[in-house]
């Protein structure tokens, strides 16, 4: 961080940033935009298909477990909060604290997958499949597309946890951590539209 | 040295708590069975606000060049605009 030997910087780390800066690698942000575009097209397709099948969509949506959807919103948002705390810890050179926050975030992600798996199990018990109705086609494909993103997010969080434990991240090396964090927040951001759209709006 | 764009722990915790309250509101609208244009407007507003917290604070784009805020916030606005148009199209049928 300080190759000049001027270690007595008058500015603490919490000083307001002087220069605009994109947190994370440019490549991950291009990837995030592509992901948002894909989910956006998916959301629009759901909304316009629903417009032509309102009674069907309303009836089948009523059978969804809205409580499970809300619980999963809480888990994803909490995981995102933990990731923010991990990044903040790394800025303070607190590697072990950073690792613990990342582990907590991964646990929330695992909780999301467990809740969603119970939802899928209940759906399959009722013979719900991709071909059973337009609503179920969207419900299963949209949520499973997102489910796979959560899994990838957890792989990234685990890799970052491993890096944090060995002291890889600090104020002079934030790029990897910030890039992974941005991906995780994207997974959360998408769910913040998916939950009201698929589980609540009728 | 780069600039620290990640804010304070206290602010992050307060934002998390407010996101929890917002989630409770969305869930409550579902429990109440709220429907119609007003309900959609409220759900969209809550979703936009939550998304803005994620984008501006958690993703730290508040401190990024304007282009990145425009692209990401513009994404939520575009998505909810399409959802609203589709909803009204459905009401008109």
Check residues B20 and A19 and name the one with the higher pLDDT. B20
Name chain A contacts of B82, Cβ cutoff 8 Å. Answer: 40, 43-44, 47-48
Enumerate the β-bridge partners of residue A173.
A170
Q: Higher-confidence residue: A77 or B90?
A: A77
Q: Residue A31 domain-assigned?
A: no
Contact A36 B75 (CB under 8 A): yes
Give which of B43, B23, B55 is closest to A186, Cα–Cα: B55
Here the CATH number for the domain that contains residue A77 is: 1.20.120.80
Residue A158, domain extent: 39-200
Residue A117 included in any domain: yes
Contact call for B1 and A172, based on CB within 8 A = yes
What are the structure tokens assigned to B35, written together?
Answer: 């429907």
Beta-carbon neighbour count of residue B13 at 10 Å? 13
Picking from A51, A182, A201, the nearest residue to B59 by CB comes out as A182
Examine the pLDDT at A4 and tell me if it is beyond 70.
no
Task: Indicate whether A10 belongs to any domain.
Answer: no
pLDDT of residue A15: 53
Task: Tell me if chain A has a CB within 8 Å of the CB of B31.
Answer: yes
| Chain A: closest CA distance from residue B73 (Å) | 11
Gap between the terminal Cα atoms of chain A: 53
pLDDT band at A3 (very low <50, low <70, confident <90, very high): very low
Euclidean distance between CA atoms A100 and B81, whole angstroms: 39
B40 touches A: beta carbon within 8 Å: yes
Tell me whether A12 touches chain B (CB under 8 Å). Answer: no
Q: Which domain holds residue B65?
A: 9-92
Torsion of CA A58, A60, A65, A71, to 10 degrees: -50
Confirm or reject contact between B56 and chain A (CB < 8 A). no
Per-residue pLDDT band for A18 (boundaries 50, 70, 90) equals: low
- Is there a domain that residue A188 lies in? yes
- Dihedral sign for Cα A47, A44, A39, B29, please: negative
What total of structural domains would you count in chain B?
1
CB A182 within 8 A of CB A29: yes
Q: Considering the domain boundaries, does residue B2 fall inside one?
A: no
Could you report the per-residue pLDDT of A153-200, keeping only the tens digit for each? Answer: 999 999 999 999 999 999 999 999 999 999 999 999 999 999 999 999
Beta strands in chain A (DSSP E): none
B52 inside domain? yes
pLDDT at A128: 93
Evaluated on CA atoms A132, A134, A136, A138, the torsion sign reads positive
For residues B72 and A30, is the Cβ–Cβ distance under 8 A?
Answer: no
Residue A1 forms contact with B (CB below 8 Å): yes
Q: What band does A20 get if pLDDT is binned at 50, 70 and 90?
A: confident
Mean pLDDT of all residues in A8-21: 60
Calpha distance A150→A109 (Å, rounded) = 7
| φ/ψ bin of B33: left (φ > 0), alpha (ψ from -120 to 50), beta (otherwise) | left
Distance between CA A13 and CA A142 in Å, rounded? 41
- Packing angle between helix A26-51 and helix B66-92, nearest 10 degrees? 10
Span B12-25, average pLDDT: 98
Considering only CB atoms, which chain A residues are within 8 Å of B76?
189, 193
The answer, for A8 touching chain B at a CB cutoff of 8 Å, is no
B17 inside domain: yes
Do residue A1 and residue B65 have CB atoms under 8 angstroms apart? Answer: no
How many domains are there within chain A? 1
ipTM of the complex: 0.95
The answer to whether the CB of A143 falls within 8 A of the CB of A64 is: no
Within 8 A of A23 by CB-CB distance, chain B residues are 5-6, 59-61, 63-64
Q: Which residue of A has its CA nearest to B84?
A: A47
Half-sphere exposure of A166 (CA within 13 A, CB side): 6
Residue pLDDT, tens place only, A45-56: 999 999 999 999
């Amino acid at each position: 961080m300080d190759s000049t030997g001027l270690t007595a910087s008058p500015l603490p780390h919490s000083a307001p940033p002087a220069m605009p800066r994109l947190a994370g690698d440019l490549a991950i942000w291009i990837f995030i935009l592509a992901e948002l575009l894909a989910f956006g097209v998916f959301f629009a397709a759901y909304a316009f298909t629903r417009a032509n099948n309102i009674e069907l969509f309303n009836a089948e949506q009523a059978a969804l477990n809205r409580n499970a959807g809300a619980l999963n919103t809480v888990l994803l948002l909490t995981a995102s909060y933990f990731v923010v705390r991990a990044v903040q810890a790394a800025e303070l050179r607190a590697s072990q604290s950073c690792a613990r926050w990342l582990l907590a975030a991964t646990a929330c992600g695992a909780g999301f997958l467990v809740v969603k798996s119970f939802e899928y199990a209940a759906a399959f018990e009722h013979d719900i499949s991709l071909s059973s109705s337009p609503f179920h086609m969207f419900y299963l494909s949209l949520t499973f597309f997102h489910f796979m993103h959560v899994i990838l997010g957890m792989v990234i969080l685990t890799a970052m946890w491993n890096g944090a434990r060995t002291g890889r991240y600090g104020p002079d090396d934030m790029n990897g951590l910030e890039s992974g964090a941005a991906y995780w927040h994207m997974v959360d951001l998408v769910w913040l539209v998916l939950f009201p759209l698929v589980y609540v709006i009728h | 040295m780069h600039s620290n764009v990640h804010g304070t722990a206290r602010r992050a915790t307060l934002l998390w708590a407010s996101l929890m309250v917002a989630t409770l509101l969305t869930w409550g609208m579902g429990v109440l069975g709220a429907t119609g244009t007003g309900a959609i407007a409220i759900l969209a507003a809550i979703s936009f606000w939550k998304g803005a917290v994620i984008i501006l604070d958690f993703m730290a784009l508040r401190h990024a060049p304007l282009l990145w805020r425009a692209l990401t916030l513009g994404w939520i606005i575009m998505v909810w605009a399409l959802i609203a148009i589709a909803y009204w199209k459905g009401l008109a049928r």
